[in-house]
């Protein structure tokens, strides 16, 4: 029997384009699903995607998208990678940009139209090739669920995943016409949101199933504290809301055969050499002090305010700190100012996959003081590399880290964070206990196996309803 077909839609997919965790999930989840479903992945072919490197070629298919009397030329491209077929949608307005969505502080002014075009092109793709399921991710592909409900020729069922509720794709209501959405959807049960248009609402309202990336976040988003104004709307649709925790690609994040490492290892003892090499790489002296790392986007969500506020005090303790990331300019400035006056803080701007692997391998502790965290992947990667995470107990951090695996602090405050750091230093002094935890973390299963099965169950459930 041939497998059922699934189209996985995302605005970013690693390694082609990445701004955050969505790209990692869009890389690894489809691979984990491919045993059960025939999976295609589709994303925009941004101009910075390296067509040559990935052997991305035209498929000589023209998709027809015409919105508000304007014709948008769409070209379909494709490539094969890791046993999966990837499809790429190219339209000049959508794709010819320096960034995916704009600068971190502010998206491009025409993002509604750009992603409106993308969603319509995906709808066209669903008429060109029949898929049983379409899996949509975040606001950038949420409209597809509405477009296929409207189109009676399409039988595809949809599942919509919220990776981060704070980004909803909210635009002036005037964009509706230009993106070919009828005004009849502009009401509280549809896309209307405080007088504006909200793309995320389309996914929640019209998809057959809605998921988010951890069980705790699925509960949190029903409350005013985490609901970003959609708590009422989500509560109304809560009978189709599910929490499924993310996994990581255990082949890509595998300390025992990771090419980025100086010396791959399969037990916590093997970290020593990697720590030595990394400290040398950043110009630090070899040290018995614990190494704390922070890797991630410099945004409010990731707890940058708390990190910055606490850094000078942490740096005054017996430890080294290494930070890698990029994001809002205000955080770059302050971090640099602090790093300049503390010789045990190393700061690297940018995003460097291979360096991040070396940091995980070298680190003793990972700092993750996020204000909120739908799932979080870095704590999973850190544990896989035998590091001990120090996390704020929210969302996916709460679901994946407990006392046996790391240090969880309950209040996102300077005093709680500091207490957790002091606790970490004490734990580190008790070398046998520290090693036991780190070793236990290396042995935990953070692969997609269990969670992919949960998605398959949901896909099958909505297919049965056809």
Q: Please name which of 101, 74, 87, 73 lies closest in space to residue 16, comparing C-alpha atoms.
A: 87
- Euclidean distance between CA atoms 452 and 87, whole angstroms: 21
Q: Which member of 20, 255, 290, 406 binds ligand GLC (CB under 6 A)?
A: 20
Interface stretch with ligand GLC, choices 79-87, 313-321, 368-376, 439-447 (CB under 6 A): 368-376
- Euclidean distance between CA atoms 309 and 312, whole angstroms: 7
**Sheet strands (E) in 355-406:** 365-368, 388-392
Is residue 442 a contact point for ligand GLC (CB under 6 A)? no
Q: Per 3-state DSSP, what percentage of the chain is helix, strand, and coil (rounded to 5)?
A: 40, 25, 35
Interface stretch with ligand GLC, choices 14-22, 56-64, 121-129, 220-228 (CB under 6 A): 14-22
Question: Taking CB under 6 A as the rule, which mask of x and - marks residues 126-165 in contact with ligand GLC?
Answer: -------------------------------------xx-
CB of 249 to ligand GLC, least distance (A): 13
CB of 77 to ligand GLC, least distance (A): 25
- Euclidean distance between CA atoms 230 and 249, whole angstroms: 31
CB of 376 to ligand GLC, least distance (A): 5
Cβ proximity to ligand GLC: between 44 and 376 the closer is 376
8 Å CB contact between 278 and 362: yes
Question: Taking CB under 6 A as the rule, which mask of x and - marks residues 24-53 in contact with ligand GLC?
Answer: -x----------------------------
Q: Which pairing describes strands 84-90 and 102-103: parallel, antiparallel, or unpaired?
A: unpaired
Cβ proximity to ligand GLC: between 111 and 137 the closer is 137
Interface stretch with ligand GLC, choices 3-11, 17-25, 316-324, 435-443 (CB under 6 A): 17-25
The label of the residue with tokens 């300019």 reads 329
CB of 373 to ligand GLC, least distance (A): 5
Sequence-distant (6+) residues with CB within 8 A of 150 are none
Interface stretch with ligand GLC, choices 150-158, 326-334, 374-382, 416-424 (CB under 6 A): 374-382
CB of 137 to ligand GLC, least distance (A): 8
Residue 291, beta-bridge partner list:
320
Helix, coil or strand: residue 55:
coil
CB of 165 to ligand GLC, least distance (A): 9
Which of positions 239-278 make contact with ligand GLC (CB under 6 A)? 246
Cβ proximity to ligand GLC: between 91 and 378 the closer is 378
Is residue 379 a contact point for ligand GLC (CB under 6 A)? no
Is residue 213 a contact point for ligand GLC (CB under 6 A)? yes
8 Å CB contact between 456 and 209: no
Cβ proximity to ligand GLC: between 34 and 211 the closer is 211
- Euclidean distance between CA atoms 328 and 299, whole angstroms: 6
In this structure, the number of other CB atoms found within 10 A of the CB of residue 185 comes to 19
Is residue 374 a contact point for ligand GLC (CB under 6 A)? yes
Interface stretch with ligand GLC, choices 52-60, 184-192, 201-209, 367-375 (CB under 6 A): 367-375
Which stretches of 207-303 are DSSP H helices?
A: 215-220, 231-236, 271-281
Cβ proximity to ligand GLC: between 320 and 441 the closer is 441
Is residue 325 a contact point for ligand GLC (CB under 6 A)? no
Task: Kindly list the distances between the CA atom of residue 232 and the CA atoms of 14, 77, 193, 266, in Å, as whole numbers in the listed order.
Answer: 33, 40, 12, 47
Residue 320, beta-bridge partner list:
291
8 Å CB contact between 133 and 157: yes
Cβ proximity to ligand GLC: between 163 and 384 the closer is 163
Residues that bind ligand GLC (CB under 6 A): 20-22, 25, 163-164, 213, 246, 373-377, 396
């Amino acid at each position: 029997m041939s497998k059922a077909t699934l189209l996985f839609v995302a605005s970013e997919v690693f390694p082609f384009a990445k701004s955050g965790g969505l790209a990692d999930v869009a890389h690894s989840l489809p691979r984990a699903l491919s045993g059960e479903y025939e999976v295609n992945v589709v994303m925009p072919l941004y101009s910075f995607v390296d067509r040559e490197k990935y052997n991305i070629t035209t498929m000589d298919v023209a998709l027809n998208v015409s919105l508000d009397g304007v014709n948008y030329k769409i070209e379909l491209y494709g490539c094969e990678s890791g046993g999966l077929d990837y499809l790429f949608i190219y339209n000049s307005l959508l794709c010819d940009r320096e960034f995916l969505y704009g600068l971190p502080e502010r998206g491009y002014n025409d993002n509604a139209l750009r992603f409106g075009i993308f969603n319509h092109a995906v709808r066209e793709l669903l008429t060109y090739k029949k898929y049983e399921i379409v899996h949509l991710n975040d606001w950038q592909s949420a409209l597809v669920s509405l477009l296929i409900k409207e189109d009676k020729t399409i039988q595809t069922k949809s599942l919509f995943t919220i990776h981060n509720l704070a980004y909803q794709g909210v635009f002036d209501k005037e964009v509706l016409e230009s993106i070919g959405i009828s005004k009849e959807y502009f009401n509280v049960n549809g896309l209307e949101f405080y007088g504006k248009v909200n793309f995320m609402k389309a996914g929640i309202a019209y998809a057959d199933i809605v998921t988010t990336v951890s069980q705790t976040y699925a509960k949190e988003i029903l409350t005013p504290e985490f609901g970003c104004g959609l708590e009422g709307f989500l509560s109304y649709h809560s009978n189709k809301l599910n929490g499924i925790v993310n996994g990581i690609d255990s082949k890509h994040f595998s300390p025992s055969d990771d090419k980025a490492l100086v010396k791959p290892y399969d037990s916590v003892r093997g970290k020593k050499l990697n720590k030595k090499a990394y400290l040398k790489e950043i110009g630090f002296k070899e040290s018995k002090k614990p190494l704390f790392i922070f890797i991630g986007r410099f945004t409010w969500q990731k707890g940058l305010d708390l990190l910055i506020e606490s850094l000078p005090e942490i740096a005054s303790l017996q430890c080294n700190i290494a930070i890698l990331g990029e994001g809002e300019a205000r955080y770059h400035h302050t971090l640099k100012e602090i790093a300049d006056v503390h010789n045990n803080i190393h700061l690297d701007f940018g995003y460097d996959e291979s360096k991040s692997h070396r940091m995980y391998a070298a680190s003793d502790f990972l700092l993750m003081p996020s204000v909120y965290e739908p799932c979080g992947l870095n704590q999973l990667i850190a544990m896989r590399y035998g590091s001990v995470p120090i996390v704020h107990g929210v969302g996916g951090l709460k679901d994946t880290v407990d006392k046996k695996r790391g240090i969880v602090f309950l209040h996102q405050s300077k005093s709680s964070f500091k207490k957790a750091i002091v606790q970490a230093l004490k734990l580190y002094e008790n070398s046998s206990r520290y090693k036991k935890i780190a070793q236990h973390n290396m042995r935990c299963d953070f692969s997609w196996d269990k969670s992919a099965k949960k998605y398959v169950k949901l896909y099958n459930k909505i297919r049965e309803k056809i």
